[in-house]
Amino acid sequence: MTDLLVAGAGPTGLTLACDLARRGVEVRIVDRSAEFPTGSRGKGLSPRTLEVLDDLGVIDKTLASGVTHLPHRRYRGAEIISEVDPEAGREPTDDIPYPVGLLIPQWRVEQILRERLAGLGVTVEPASELTGLTQDTDGVTAAVGDTTIRARYLAACDGGRSTVRKLLGLTLRGETPDVQQMDVGDVEVDGLSRDAWHQWLTPTGGIMLCPLPGTRSFQVQAAGGEGFQQTFDRIAGVPGVRLHEPTWRSTYRVQVRMVDRLRAGRVFLAGDAAHVHPIAGGLGMNTGIQDAYNLGWKLGLVIKGQAGEGLLDTYEQERLPIAASLLNITSEVLTEILESIRHRGGGLDAGTTHDLSQLTLKYPWSRLSRQTVDHPGTPRAGDRAADGRIGGRRLFDLFRGPHFTLLGPPAAESGTSALVQAHGVENAQTLTLVRPDGYLGLIADPTDLSAVSRYLEDL
């Protein structure tokens, strides 16, 4: 019997496995593929996801593998008609150390997470497809390859075509908008510079070529249904540009769909298994990573007997509304981009009026957001815990790891326990308990240490 079986080793499953493994929970992670993916697929990490990767201890490697501020360069034929950095002017601050998204191929994110996981003593079991599933009061029995695995809990991180979701009889509800199917792939390109995301967008078709950092390849996205070079020649028609050495090719159709439950007994759905987005907002991989990060600490505490089963219900209570609102945002972004291309000669930057940083996501409605004092104009329970400095120390350094962090007057330091690391702050106006996933759980009167113990008992 293992504590947790993770089905699917994409970004969602790997994040969950890392978070549980660092908590000393026994975790197995299986994937039906015999080989790790090498195609770029998702290529953007949001500022909030970068904070998650900071907490998981892989931020330096991640930042070193990507680029920021790559301009969108739009053309008509060989003529440049605009060049925009949609995130221009966003500089790091004490509160927000990663203010802009990072361009990085998804396979590299997965590789970094697999290396972190291996460092924690867990390796992905390849060529291991989950095909069957039963559950009882003590655990889940999964048919995987030609064996069975018994686990206390199962996390379905098996992507948009999730087998687990189908075995549970859950459906992805929503729509498949009437938008042309796109071709996507990784190719080498002669005749284009690597200092911009090159885009030719017309009302009747388009092609975009984005250099992938750390490689010689570009990700090409095209509406055409023909060879990439043919689409390029037909739409861009720039002589001397040659697309060659394709290493990956796929197609995608825009989907706006999600399930109406994230939990069925001892099984949890996360990432694309639970919601599929238009890629226009670039939020699919990010939302999956953040689902996993929300679920990880809760499963960790329950498996270790430090919290009651009911804590696991808060995963769905918190993440289902977030999934719904992100689906709305990504479909609005898609509509605005398509409208702009069709009618105003615009491009991808038409969607950047929306906040895609995910830094403002919060859980004010959650029973885990508790506030007993109110100082207008200051952060509220359920908000993201911002970075900053106290007494010369960086807050994200204090938060990093699987614990809760308590910030309050020096007397609060007595609140340190197996679950909580407490730090005294001169003239603290409140007691603030930061959840392991970096959200404000409790804001209480600075003298009310018992509020902290009540909060933890109620978990």
Which residues would be at the binding site for ligand FAD (CB under 6 A)? 7-13, 30-33, 41-44, 106, 129-130, 157-159, 163, 184, 252, 271-272, 279, 282-286, 288
Least Cβ distance, residue 299 to ligand FAD (angstroms): 17
Neighbours of 396 (CB within 10 A): 19
Least Cβ distance, residue 144 to ligand FAD (angstroms): 7
Structure tokens, 224: 């055409």
Q: Which residue has the tokens 């048919």?
A: 143
Least Cβ distance, residue 289 to ligand FAD (angstroms): 8
C-alpha dist (Å) from residue 102 to 9, 147, 220, 310: 21, 40, 18, 36
Nearer to ligand FAD, 287 or 405 (CB): 287
Nearer to ligand FAD, 139 or 271 (CB): 271
Least Cβ distance, residue 256 to ligand FAD (angstroms): 13
Least Cβ distance, residue 70 to ligand FAD (angstroms): 12
Nearer to ligand FAD, 13 or 346 (CB): 13
Distance CA 102, CA 108 (A): 12
Least Cβ distance, residue 417 to ligand FAD (angstroms): 34
Structure tokens, 167: 């075995």
Least Cβ distance, residue 334 to ligand FAD (angstroms): 12
> Per DSSP, what are the bridge partners of residue 66?
none
Nearer to ligand FAD, 251 or 414 (CB): 251
Nearer to ligand FAD, 130 or 264 (CB): 130
Nearer to ligand FAD, 66 or 300 (CB): 66
Distance CA 37, CA 8 (A): 12
203 by Cβ neighbours in 10 Å (0-12 / 13-18 / 19+) ranks as: exposed
Nearer to ligand FAD, 124 or 407 (CB): 124
Least Cβ distance, residue 11 to ligand FAD (angstroms): 5
Nearer to ligand FAD, 320 or 398 (CB): 320
- The distance in angstroms from the start CA to the end CA of the chain is 25
